[in-house]
Structures are given as structure tokens and as C-alpha cells.
A = this chain, B = another copy of it.
Amino acid sequence: MKQATQAAVNTPTPIETLSSRLEEDMRAVNGIILKRMDSPVKLIPQLASYLIAAGGKRVRPLLTLASTAIFDGDMERSHKLAAAVEFIHTATLLHDDVVDGSTERRGQEAANLIFGNQASVLVGDFLFSRAFQLMTEDGSLEVLGILSQASAVIAQGEVLQLTTANNLGTTMDDYIEVIQSKTAALFAAACEVGPVIAGANKDQQKAMADFGMNMGIAFQIADDTLDYMAEREKLGKATGDDFREGKMTAPVLLALKQANEEELRFWQRTLGDKNQKEGDIEYACEIFAKHKIIEQCFTMAEEYRDLAIESLHKAPESSLRLNLEELSTYVITRNH
């Protein structure tokens, strides 16, 4: 029994497999990241490294590298663009951390709590600008178009999320639009860059973009579901952050659809009227258990994962493609 556990622990995750197969490339990407986030203004690398070094799994740059390698593209160009993708991701993380007066983030030490809102915004802007400098140096207007469009869509999705918070009239379509924009668009762009610089045809570019998009949606649905699961605490992020912030995510939207009158009143009070008290999160989880909401959410995530794999299969068959396929399942199962 002990041996079996040991073996399970030693089985590399798809992220680890990809990282080790693309080890040289990832080292090059990390080198570019370190070099380009440096600045004579020392608070910048200090704050950036706090986030970039902080156990980041570098999933997005891995997607860019793998999608380049699958199409036999120029890996040196891919290094720079993978770094650009990671910079955009880090910038959005920093900007996500910015809060308003009364808001408090629990569980994790967000960068803004240590360095302040203003520093988080400005260092995010710096990294965002650096991303565009890297792309400009690469010189592909097509890549610039893909990533500037993705950046606009991300911001749009985050604003949409802000305006749907605490709104019980939010639909599942609204929610999918939010996560497609704020999360999946960058996954899609990261995967599209590879075939673009490799000069693959439009169908293959679209297939990889669709793969990234659907994997990103699946990932975010799973992530939003895990926010209501106790195991989540292992990750250092407190359970129920989304509940406290009134985010209208998949579990809540499904529970609202299946709610009886008492449950409706509960959601109205806690999310609609922002009137939360001790024990509310636990009661929310009870409602989820009663209606098997968690299972329904993972089924939804799996459907998007299946769409992702369907698209991926339009790319040339290779062992890297298989790794990406495993990754798309891993991102929706990793913590339970």
C-alpha cells in the first residue's frame, strides 16, 4: 500500500512531463523573463519576481513552446513569444489583485497587500509593455494582432465579471463569456502563436486556438468549482473567495436554476444583497451536495475538455500532442 502511494507521488503530472521534455526551451524562456523584467527601478523586479517566481507552473509559455514544436516552428522565436505570453499573464494577475477600499483578500498574501495597489498596477503595466516590446522585436504583425486582441478581450472579460458580480440575473451564457474572455482567450492565443510562427495553415492555427480556448474554459469551470471544495485549502487559497466576492460562477448558476424557495432566498441574501454571515459557505456547500452541483460542474468542464481534444486532433500526431491531451484532462482534475 505504501509502495503504491509512493509510485503515485512519483508519477509526473502532464505539466512536469512537458516541462522536462521542453527543459532547454523553458530555461531559455526563464532567462528572457528574468532579463526583461529587470529595471534600474528595483521595486519592479522585486515585485515581479514575487509573482513570477512564486511557484508559477508556467502553463501558458509551455503551451506556446509545445504548439511551436508540434508544427516544427522556430523555437528561438517561440522562447521570446512564450515570455511575452507569461508577461501578459503576470500583468493580469497583478491587476486582478488590485482591490477597492473595503475589499480584503483572505488566505493568500496578494502582491498588493505587501506592495500596495499602485505598485501592483504600475508593475503590471511595465510587464505588459515589455510583452509588446518582445513581440515587436519578433516582428510578426500576426502575432501582435493575436495577442493585442487577446489582451483587449481579457480586460473586457474582467470588466464583465465585475458588472455581473452579485447579479442573480447572470446567465450561464454570461458566465461562459466571462471565463472565455478573462481566462481562455490567453490560453487560445498561447496555443495559436506556435502554428502561426511555424507557418502552418489557417485551419491548423484555428484548431490550436480552439484547443486552447476550450481547455481554458474547462480549466476555469473546474477552478471555480474547486473554490467551493474543502480540498482547495491545500493550495493555500481559502475556500469560498468567490462566494465572498459575489462572483456568479458555474456552481452558483447551476444551484440557482435548481433552487427551491428557501434556497433562492439564501442566494438572494448572501450574493444578491451581499449580506453574509458565519456558516453561509457551509450551507452553500450543503445545497451543492443536495443537488450534486459539483458533479454537474465537472461534467460541464469535461465537455469543454472533450471539445479541446477534438480540436487538438487536427494537429499532426506526436508525443507532444499526447502530452497536451493529457494536460487538458489534468487541468480539470488536478486537485481532487
Contacts and interface: CB of A to CB of B under 8 A. Distances in A.
A121 B133 contact: no
Nearest to A44: B159
Say how many copies of this protein the assembly contains: 2
Contact of A117 (B100, B137, B154, B156): B100
Contact of A151 (B40, B117, B125): B125
Nearest to A148: B132
Contacts of A130: 152
A160 interface: yes
Contact of A155 (B123, B139, B145): B123
A240 B117 CA distance: 22
Interface in A140-183: 141, 144-145, 148-149, 151-152, 154-156, 158-160, 162-163
Given A116-B100, A162-B118, A145 B151 contact: no
Interface residues of A, number: 46
Given A41-B159, A129-B155, A132-B144, 19 more contacts: A41-B160, A42-B163, A44-B159, A92-B125, A95-B125, A99-B118, A100-B118, A101-B117, A118-B162, A122-B155, A122-B158, A122-B159, A123-B159, A125-B154, A129-B148, A129-B149, A136-B141, A136-B144, A141-B141
Interface of A: 39-44, 91-92, 95, 98-101, 116-119, 121-126, 128-130, 132-133, 136-137, 139, 141, 144-145, 148-149, 151-152, 154-156, 158-160, 162-163
Which 8 pairs between the two chains have the least Cβ-Cβ distance? A129-B152, A129-B151, A126-B155, A125-B155, A132-B148, A136-B144, A133-B148, A122-B158
